[in-house]
């Protein structure tokens, strides 16, 4: 299959063109925008009930994913993320896994498997857990983010990224999670967990965070009346 | 200090490349990514000209009052060249603006970062803001060294205006202005009732000569449009 990302960078959408009948694309629930009517859709829980439930609870993805199958060559399907922002495409080579933050998965070829991975947490004061989706296998993988997607090559010195801004990173990187800020965290400051990456690889960073947008909107919600 | 604004104008992020010894004062929460060699010190916002610890606390309390975080992070490249990525919350642009002469006033949420020679303190934009739905909480920024700059973040695009005499701007669209301008916050129309009915809330009326930066979208307006569609909160 061929794909191209259009309307970049603020309202990106991917158009996938199937090369042959029988070709499949797995799409996150609600990410399908448009398709040729002959393309068939099957809803399933990938990895069975347990695998799907784990992915939903831990990775934040939906319980169900849709598999779209071409009936002849040249058929197309369009997929897009929910938030305004960019998309990125990866041609997975079957060698190196890619780790995705929850909620960023959009679509993939049938050769890609997804699994929720607890990424551990090294930090005494932190009560927050940290889960990522591990994408493995061969074929195309499409992800989407709120905001722009900024790649950073991690050099020998390493790189630190705010957890809410991690979109994806290559499997070859080592990292540990920690809390930043001394005084500030005692007083409940806003910066939370960061990921300190080491080794050789790439981290993709989003330039906006849905969590901080939610924090901005929260005070504007109506207040529940006590009566 | 070199900087680049990336992904303009909607998803703007600032990339700073600091040489050894260079510093940046940053709003907590704005750090997106950085090289690990940067030292980060969380401190009370600095107070200009002494004042000791009491002065520092007063300045920090002013910032808290102004809706800004109590603390400011100081990032220092102590060992060599380092990189820092900064962004703010809402979709929109960022700009580096020069702190000139009498300094700048900023809408409190517009401050993202500054060069180390800038001191910020919080203040109210006048008693009238108590009565309006949208308050105008200000930061006052002054420079104690030449060539000082502030990185501002906006909701929407950033439009720079030159005030020659007088100008009126909706408070929700204000980002920053030269402190050489005098201003007062008033209702947009003459009566409270027509002010309520037209939906035009508070405006800032400027007099004098100076630069004004406005944002093309209004955060409180957006917040209340979306907020009223959300389920009620209990806290």
What CA–CA distance (Å, rounded) separates B33 from A158? 11
Asked if the C-beta of A202 comes within 8 angstroms of chain B's C-beta atoms, the answer is: no
Among A148, A182, A220, whose Cβ lies nearest the Cβ of B223?
A: A220
- Of the CA atoms within 13 Å of residue A185, those in its CB half-sphere come to 15
pLDDT at residue A178, rounded to an integer? 76
Q: How confident is the model at residue B121 (pLDDT cuts 50, 70, 90)?
A: confident
What is the residue whose two structure tokens read 């009620």?
B232
The residues on B that touch A, with CB distances below 8 Å, are: 6-7, 10-13, 28-29, 31-37, 40, 42-43, 69-71, 73, 85, 87, 89-91, 219-220, 223-224, 226-228, 230-234
Cβ count near A215 (within 10 Å) = 13
Alpha-helical segments (H) within chain A? 48-59, 183-186, 210-217
Closest CA of chain A from B156, distance in Å: 13
Residue B19: pLDDT over 80: yes
Q: Residue A23 contacts by C-beta under 8 Å, 6 or more apart in sequence?
A: A1, A69, A70
Question: Which one of A220, A222, A224 makes the best mutation probe of the B interface by having the most chain B beta carbons within 10 Å?
Answer: A220
Q: Which residue of B has its CA nearest to A198?
A: B36
- The pLDDT, as a whole number, for residue A125 is 39
Judging contacts by C-beta atoms under 8 Å, the chain A residues touching residue B11 are 9-10, 85-86, 147-148, 207-208
CA B68 to chain centre: 9
- What pLDDT score does A116 carry? 77
Q: Is B89's CB within 8 Å of A205's CB?
A: no
pTM above 0.95, yes or no: no
- Band of the pLDDT at B61, cuts 50, 70, 90? low
- Shortest alpha-carbon distance between residue A172 and chain B (Å): 18
Nearest residue to B83 via CA among B40, B116, B38: B38
A residues 56..95 contacting B (CB < 8 A): 84-86
Q: What is the mean pLDDT of chain B?
A: 84
Does B70 contact A187 at a Cβ distance shorter than 8 Å? Answer: yes
Handedness of CA A158, A162, A163, A169 (dihedral sign): negative
Q: Are A33 and A21 in contact (CB under 8 A)?
A: no
Which residues on B lie below 8 Å from A147 (Cβ)? 7, 11, 13, 87, 91
Determine contact: A196 vs chain B, CB below 8 A. Answer: yes
Q: What is the DSSP letter of A46?
A: T
pLDDT per residue of chain A (227 residues) written in tens, 0 to 9: 999 999 999 999 999 999 999 999 999 988 999 999 999 999 887 666 666 676 666 556 666 789 999 999 999 999 999 999 999 999 999 999 999 987 899 999 999 998 876 555 443 334 444 678 889 999 999 999 999 999 999 989 999 999 889 999 999 899 888 776 544 444 444 456 788 999 999 999 999 998 889 888 999 999 987 66
Contacts of A137 (CB under 8 A, 6+ apart): A92, A94, A111, A112, A113
> pLDDT tens across B153-177, in order?
999 999 999 999 999 998 889 999 9
- The pLDDT value given to residue B41: 85
What value of ipTM does the predicted structure carry? 0.83
Q: What is the pLDDT of residue A187?
A: 42
Give the helix/strand (H/E) hosting B57: helix B52-65
pLDDT, residue A14, reads 98
Q: Which of B49, B11, B208, B46 is nearest to B119 (CA)?
A: B46
pLDDT at B151 > cutoff 90: yes
Q: Is A186 on the interface with B (CB under 8 A)?
A: no
End-to-end CA distance of chain B: 43
Contact check, Cβ <8 Å, A205/B32: yes
- List phi, psi (to 5°) of B173: -100, -5
Contact flag B227-A219 (C-beta cutoff 8 Å): yes
Dihedral class, residue A33 (left if φ above 0, else alpha if ψ from -120 to 50, else beta): alpha
- Range B14-35 average pLDDT: 94
Whether residue A161 and residue B32 make contact (CB cut-off 8 A), yes or no, is: yes
- Chain B CB contacts of A212 under 8 Å are 29, 89
CB within 8 Å of B168: residues ≥ 6 apart = B203, B204, B205, B206
How many angstroms separate the CA of residue A69 from the nearest CA in chain B? 35
**pLDDT score recorded for residue B202:** 78
DSSP B131: T
Interchain pair B34, A159: CB under 8 A:
yes
Q: How many CA atoms lie within 13 A of A75 on its CB side?
A: 20
Residues of B within 8 A of A181 (CB-CB) are 28, 40, 42, 73
* SS3 category, A211: helix
Closest-approach residue (CA) in chain A for B30: A191
If phi > 0 it is left, if psi is from -120 to 50 it is alpha, else beta; for residue A186 that is alpha
Instruction: Please judge whether A221 and B219 are an interchain contact, meaning their C-beta atoms are less than 8 angstroms apart.
Output: no
């Amino acid at each position: 299959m061929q794909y191209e990302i259009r309307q970049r960078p603020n309202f990106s959408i991917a158009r996938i063109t199937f090369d042959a009948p029988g070709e499949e694309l797995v799409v996150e629930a609600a990410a399908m925008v448009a398709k040729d009517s002959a393309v068939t859709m099957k809803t399933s829980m990938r990895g069975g009930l347990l695998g799907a439930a784990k992915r939903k609870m831990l990775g934040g993805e939906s319980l169900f994913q849709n598999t779209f199958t071409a009936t002849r060559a040249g058929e197309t399907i369009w997929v897009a993320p929910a938030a305004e922002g960019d998309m990125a495409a990866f041609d997975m080579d079957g060698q190196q896994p890619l780790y995705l933050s929850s909620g960023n998965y959009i679509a993939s070829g049938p050769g890609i498997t997804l699994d929720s991975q607890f990424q551990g947490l090294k930090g005494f004061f932190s009560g927050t857990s940290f889960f990522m989706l591990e994408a493995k296998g061969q074929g195309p993988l499409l992800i989407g983010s709120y905001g722009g997607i900024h790649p950073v090559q991690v050099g020998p010195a390493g790189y630190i990224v705010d957890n809410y801004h991690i979109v994806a990173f290559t499997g070859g990187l080592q990292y540990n999670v920690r809390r930043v800020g001394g005084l500030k965290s005692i007083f409940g400051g806003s910066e939370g967990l960061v990921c300190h990456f080491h080794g050789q690889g790439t981290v993709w960073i989003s330039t906006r965070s849905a969590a901080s947008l939610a924090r901005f909107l929260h005070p504007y919600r109506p207040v529940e009346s006590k009566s | 200090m070199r900087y680049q604004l990336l992904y303009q104008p909607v998803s703007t992020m600032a990339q700073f490349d600091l040489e050894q010894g260079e510093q940046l004062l940053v709003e907590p929460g704005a750090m997106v990514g950085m090289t690990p060699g940067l030292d980060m010190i969380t401190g009370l916002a600095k107070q200009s000209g002494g004042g000791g610890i009491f002065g520092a606390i007063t300045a920090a309390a002013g910032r808290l009052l102004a809706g800004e975080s109590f603390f400011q992070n100081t990032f220092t490249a102590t060992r060599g060249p380092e990189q820092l990525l900064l962004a703010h919350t809402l979709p929109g642009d960022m700009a580096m603006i020069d702190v000139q002469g009498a300094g700048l006033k900023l809408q409190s949420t517009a401050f993202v970062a500054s060069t180390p020679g800038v001191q910020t303190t919080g203040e109210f934009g006048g008693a009238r803001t108590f009565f309006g739905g949208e308050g105008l909480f200000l930061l006052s920024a002054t420079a104690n060294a030449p060539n000082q700059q502030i990185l501002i973040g906006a909701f929407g695009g950033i439009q720079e205006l030159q005030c020659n005499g007088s100008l009126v701007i909706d408070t929700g669209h204000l980002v920053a202005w030269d402190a050489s301008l005098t201003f007062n916050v008033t209702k947009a129309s003459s009566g409270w009732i027509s002010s309520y009915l037209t939906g035009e809330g508070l405006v800032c009326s400027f007099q004098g000569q100076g630069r004004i930066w406005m944002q093309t979208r209004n955060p409180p307006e957006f917040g209340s449009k979306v907020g009223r569609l959300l389920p009620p909160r209990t806290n």
